[in-house]
Structure 1
Amino acid sequence: MTSVLVVDDSQFMRTVIGNVVADHGYRVLSASDGQEAIEMVHEHDPDVITMDVEMPGMDGIEAVSRIMASKPTPILMLSAHTQKGAEATLDALARGAVDFLAKPGGEVTRELESLGDRIVEKVEAVAGADLSSIAPTERRAAAPAGSTGTTPSSRPAATDRSGGASESSVEPDRAFVEHPTVVIGASTGGPKILESILRSLPVTLDPKVLVVQHMPESFTDRLAARLDSFLPFDVSEASDGQRVRDGEVVVAKGGYHLEVTSNVAGNLRLRLTEGERVHGVRPAIDVTMQTAAERVSDPLVGVALTGMGKDGAAGIEAIKRAGGTTIAQDEASSPVFGIPEKAIATGCVDHVRSATDVPGAICDAFAQEASSHG
């Protein structure tokens, strides 16, 4: 029987979460703080952990670090729906947690019933995650505490986080096409892999990058700020009517679909909408990819990364039909292979690559000697 360790300083939340997962056939263990969680992991070897972020004594962030260093286990973070909670959650994901779920705010409400359904869905996805691609690395580079960004002149050069040369390394004198656009979609396990890919893109590529990471509002702005603090590109959360220029990365805003409305003189124009959820999510990868396929006249690449579900498959098809290049992350490097697998199944993926080789595939598509669009 699959076992779940529920870690929360609230007895009420331990009971609620424990009852929900027990009703779905899981064996439940519990701990009230990070230190007890570490002890329970070594004693009982749970299959999945749900981890509260803020707890007295050892908090969830430190517990994640220690567990992933000593006994890697799939971890689902449960965080407050606040800016502080979002920042802490992104830190936990950088340290090896697989996914997160925002708790409902306020006192006990009817939201708890829907929270239970979402917990079960997330636990099932996290339980099967391959941790090898998101395990902490010795050279993990994090933004300085309290950092909200740097000026373009002070940004570090893009680097390969693997600690050495890789197949995704780009020749210094390589020439690229003008005005390249990349649309990247990801869900479970995505933030850390997304970070690694963007770090490895050369400044000389000068791309426009649209990122659709399944996250709720209040988390996507913190993701954008985190990326902006160490990438050589300007990173922002999407805003309605925004113009995107070369060398800019835009993260889709949680709770809104991100559409491309025009591509004029190398610049993109964006629109945010609150249309119906697609595949149960908003923002949806398909919406951004499909509108990019319709309206981007410059060279275009679509990338499907780790995550559960099928969002992005129709978008990949649309980009391929429009003459763009399509890339999917391979199974071996995907914590959760749902999104890439569904994209590959369409028959419209040009290249299936490991996470470390995705940057090289993007660069190959935009190399002057190889790239064509339309």
Structure 2
Amino acid sequence: MTKVLIVDDSALIRRVLSEILSEAGFEVAVARDGVEALVKLTTFLPDVVTLDVQMPNMSGLDCLDRIMLQRPCPVVMVSSLTAAGAEETLTALELGAVDFVPKPDGVVSLAVEDLAPVLVEKVRAAATARVGRAHRLVERLRARRGEIKSPVRPAVPVRAVKSSRARDTGTPAGIVVVGASTGGPAALETLLSDIPGDFPWPILVAQHMPATFTGSLASRLNGLCALTVSEVTGPTRLEAGVIYIARGGADMVVSRRVSGLVVLPAPADEKYRWHPSVDRLVASAMAQVPPAQLVGVLMTGMGDDGAREMAALHKAGGLTIAESEETAVVWGMPGSLVRAGGAEAVEPLEAIASRLVAMVPR
């Protein structure tokens, strides 16, 4: 039985989370703050920890840092859906947390119905997460920050997309679509910060997140990447060498206007399970751009979002890259693409940028 340690200073939240997880078949223990959590880390020996961000005595971030040093295990943050909560949660993901869930607010009893399936799914996924890989990724990111990156093309031969001249309107010759979920923020930082400033195509990113988080994610990445990074909050014309982050809580789709290709947010489509939907983004891109002018990249994440449409893209003549099992925190999404036979290349995280650079013509 999977053992879960719930860490929260609110007795009500501890009770609610305990009931949800106990009913789902987990063995549960609780801690009132970070100090007590560190004691139970070595006595209860949890497989997963859910950790409140804001607590007295020891903050969730300080506790997380100690967990990763004392006894690394998968941690799911429980955070408020506010701008401040988003910043703290992204910091937690940088420190090694594998995922997060929204903290119930208002009338907690009314939020349980929505929270329960998300909490159970994410805790189950966290129990299978390769926390050692997440921790090593965080250490690599810390070591790399501030360095000038100049990725080189790989020595191994790769198939490249057919070159085509951009339209007179300035429409880019092609598009890169990237999908990620659990473990994605740190993985995206590794990938996108290694893309050189003269990269000729726009990069569209669907990272499963709520709306209050994606703006902070885009802002952080913009400060770390050679390319401009922005969150898509309205119809936006695609420009070469710009990274577009899908706004959370909705989907992002590619469309064509008189002025050229645009990307815009769309209400979440219920036929897609996760949002922003990678499958929907890829399908919309294929509807507007020849498959030979598209590259799909599917990275760490639970479930299979993106696998179906990227497999279709590959079958139609487009190029696809799946993150390898050796580096993915959760090999759900990229693993599904590989098993479907839809991956042109399977690469460890640190090699994806150079493979992508080699695939896209200058």
Fold in common (TM above 0.5): yes
Q: TM-score, normalised by structure 1?
A: 0.85
After superposition, residues 233-312 of structure 1 pair within 5 angstroms as 233-262=227-256, 268-297=261-290, 299-312=293-306
Aligned to 1:122: 122
Cα deviations across residues 54-99 of structure 1 (Å, max 9, x unaligned)? 1112111111111112211000011001111111000000110000
Q: Which runs of 5+ in 1 are unaligned?
A: 144-154, 161-165, 171-175, 369-374
| Distance (whole Å) between structure 1 residues aligned to residue 40 and residue 268 of structure 2 | 44
Which amino acid in the other structure matches residue 193 of structure 1?
A: A
Asked if the contact 2:200/2:240 (under 8 Å) is kept, the reply is yes
Identity fraction in percent: 37
Deviates more, 1:185-194 or 1:355-364: 355-364
Distance 1:73 1:17, change over 3 A: same
1:114 offset after TM fit, Å? 2.3
Cα deviations across residues 83-124 of structure 1 (Å, max 9, x unaligned)? 111110000001100000112332324111221222111110
Q: Does 1:213 align with 2:207?
A: yes
Q: Which runs of 5+ in 2 are unaligned?
A: 157-161, 166-171
Asked if the contact 1:169/1:360 (under 8 Å) is kept, the reply is no
Whichever structure has more helix as a proportion of its residues is 2
Aligned to 2:50: 50
Q: Secondary structure at the match of 2:56?
A: coil
Asked if the contact 2:195/2:225 (under 8 Å) is kept, the reply is no
Distance 1:74 1:264, change over 3 A: farther
| Distance (whole Å) between structure 2 residues aligned to residue 98 and residue 168 of structure 1 | 30
The alignment covers a number of residue pairs equal to: 346
Distance 1:338 1:264, change over 3 A: farther
Q: Does 1:357 align with 2:351?
A: yes
1:167 offset after TM fit, Å? 8.4
Distance 1:263 1:42, change over 3 A: farther
Q: Does 1:330 align with 2:332?
A: no
Cα deviations across residues 6-34 of structure 1 (Å, max 9, x unaligned)? 00000111111112111222211111112
Cα deviations across residues 163-222 of structure 1 (Å, max 9, x unaligned)? xxx98699xxxxx96745211001111111111111111223243110000011101111
Q: TM-score, normalised by structure 2?
A: 0.88
Q: Secondary structure at the match of 1:18?
A: helix
| Distance (whole Å) between structure 2 residues aligned to residue 28 and residue 168 of structure 1 | 47
Asked if the contact 2:246/2:276 (under 8 Å) is kept, the reply is yes
Asked if the contact 1:294/1:322 (under 8 Å) is kept, the reply is no
Distance 1:100 1:261, change over 3 A: same
| Distance (whole Å) between structure 1 residues aligned to residue 191 and residue 133 of structure 2 | 12
| Distance (whole Å) between structure 2 residues aligned to residue 207 and residue 39 of structure 1 | 50
Aligned to 1:152: none
1:134 offset after TM fit, Å? 1.5
Aligned to 1:70: 70
| Distance (whole Å) between structure 1 residues aligned to residue 43 and residue 236 of structure 2 | 52
Which amino acid in the other structure matches residue 48 of structure 2?
A: V
